[in-house]
Structure 1
Amino acid sequence: MAIILFDDTSHHTLQPLTFTRPVADLRIGILTIAEKWAKYLNTTFSYHTQPYLQVKFPMQISNDNLFINGAFCPDEQLLEATDKLQTGEALRHGEQLVAVKLKDVDAKGFNTNLQFSKVTDLQHEPVVIRHPEDIFRKNDIELRKDFALLTKGRSSAAISSTNVIIGDDFFAEDDAVADCATFNTKNGPIYLGKTSQVWEGTHIRGAFALCNNSQVKMGAKIYGATTVGPYSRVGGEINNAIIWGYSSKGHEGYLGNSVLGEWCNIGADSNNSNLKNNYDEVKLWDYSLGHYRKTGLQFCGLIMADHSKCAINTMFNTGTVVGVSANVFGAGFPKNFIPDFSWGGAEGMVPYSLNKMFETAERVFSRRAERSFNETERAILAHIYEATQPYRELYY
């Protein structure tokens, strides 16, 4: 049976993070949502996503297909409910379609408004990702679930005796290296991926995940619930932040209650605020609404989409959203919404030329042999550039 992760309206409410990927490609916990389903079901997966993304994330159908909403993180009850579905039957959670089984002839024309032979309501409250802040809000839950999933029946690889490990929920994959670091698992598990490195003088409190080929630099202070995705490097102070991969926050400075996409870079001594001076509720820019939305949160930091960067000593105010491929620099606090493909800071912004952005992306990708900045990547970014033009016009 083919497993196909589909987008619904969450693809719009999760922008700018989903401009460059399907919803199920979001990383929360240790794994992406798609990787979680593949691990639980012991199978491969594909995507039913936006037309401009479908070339990079193709859909693969078979005679029998299980379509699963990419915004839903799997758990035992959800797995049991989807397993009971017969062909033509669907599972819902409120107004959201969760899953449906379809034959190949129906799969080719799939959309969330199809009529199904039987619809069953999900009987528990799963972890669902609807807005960008849900990723750091629910990261602790998913970290614990993923830790249990990845380490079940396995033993941790040995690490240096120079480290101090407090508690029992520690796991290191093969070739993970750590020296003279403190790992406190009393508040949550700690996971070190393959060929990851934790350098001397680092203090980490769980829940925490360091994915494959990533490094924590000397003297870093990291609090749960934090995830550092693959091929990334971090330092300074981090609290309840998710860095998806191929990104760097390698220097001193604070990052808290935040999400960073791929190919991002945070300059030295840059900081984000995660609490307003008056302790008021934080609002975030919402692309689907075209204005700021109340989050119900007192702590909410920085949401930064793929390919965005900031210079040294950049200051981000509480609840700042930075779109795809923005370059932020200069003194003072920039606005709480920085549109995609913008260049500048508090003193003003100008559009970031698409060709200039391509030149930078080529240099960044060339440092990673396993990734290529090809025509597909260019086409996706060109589409986003055109689609986000109204936000730049509004901002400037």
Structure 2
Amino acid sequence: MSDTNAFSPLRVGATTVRNRLAMAPMTRSRATDEGLATASTAEYYRQRAGAGLIVTEATQISLRGKAYPTTPGIATPEQAESWRQVTDAVHEAGGTIHLQLFHGGRTGHPTMRGGLDAHAPSAVAAPGQTFTPDGMKDHPVPAAMTAEDIRTTLQEFATASALAVSAGFDGVQLHAANGYLPQQFLCQNTNLRTDEWGGSTENRIRFVVEAVRAMAGAAGADRTSLRISPASTIQGIDEGNTEELYEAMLGELAGDGLAFLDVSETPGRRELTTLLRKSWPGVLVLNPHRTADPEAPHDRVDDGLAAGADIVALGAAWLANPDLATRIVQRGPYNEPDNSTFYGGTDRGYLDYPRLAA
């Protein structure tokens, strides 16, 4: 790995980050039942402010968008205010932090949303079961969104973006990956619509494009980013014509002046990453798929930079190593993540991973 490349500053939209390492968004399910960030949330992100760029856990833009228990929100002034302690802590530690905005679409269960039905492009249930406060339950069939529902949701993305700016975030990110609402609009098996929001490639990319632009209108284009996972099949999705979809989408957004494009690489699809790099003129953040298991974080950084990324995002490695940047410089050693503490629980497995001795 070239320290000059990975540890040199880079202008990313409205801010300059101090290195080319990003902490990828990771759900931790440690917010309050009201969707508030806590003092522990602030400490968790402060510990990891050595990343050039932090993208937070997925944060729902509305109660209807909630998909999992004890996840944070950014739909109300109270929720926004709870995030202020987080942004203050990261900034005091010299870091940069963007808030990832989320809507689960057809995923999740009404018991977590005060009885609200799921909204999705079409009335097609997600396969399998989902987490609820009462244990695992089948995904119900969602309600197909009306045109008014879609416009309301786009406005919620804009409102959440404005609230995020008010809470001190350096930027906002649309979560259009992993089979949630924006990607559901892209997929041929979850979007069966025949109106302007479905059918053709142009219509299937419309929701993502308009959501990004709604967010940019509230936060500024240079503080707005997009996360995608092209060709992912998670949660039973099938895009159908992946290359065409993303070439069209990036062609539409390439001139908007966004802060960066964030790609979660699908296993075995490096050629897609190469295509996206050619199609995207701006900063590219890449969460590279592991080619070996186990594989050292510094090897993954090497791999991501070699694939054309400007910044390399890692997930569990940051979770388990709050001083990951220092460890990468030294090429280890690394703490191993404890999978049993990933979601929910106490500060164990959240705030207590050890740092290297000074």
Global fold match (TM > 0.5): no
- Structure whose CA Rg is larger: 1
Structure ranking higher in helix proportion = 2
Higher RCO (CA-CA < 8 Å; seq separation 6+): 2
Structure ranking higher in strand proportion = 1
Q: State the TM-score, normalized to the length of structure 2.
A: 0.30
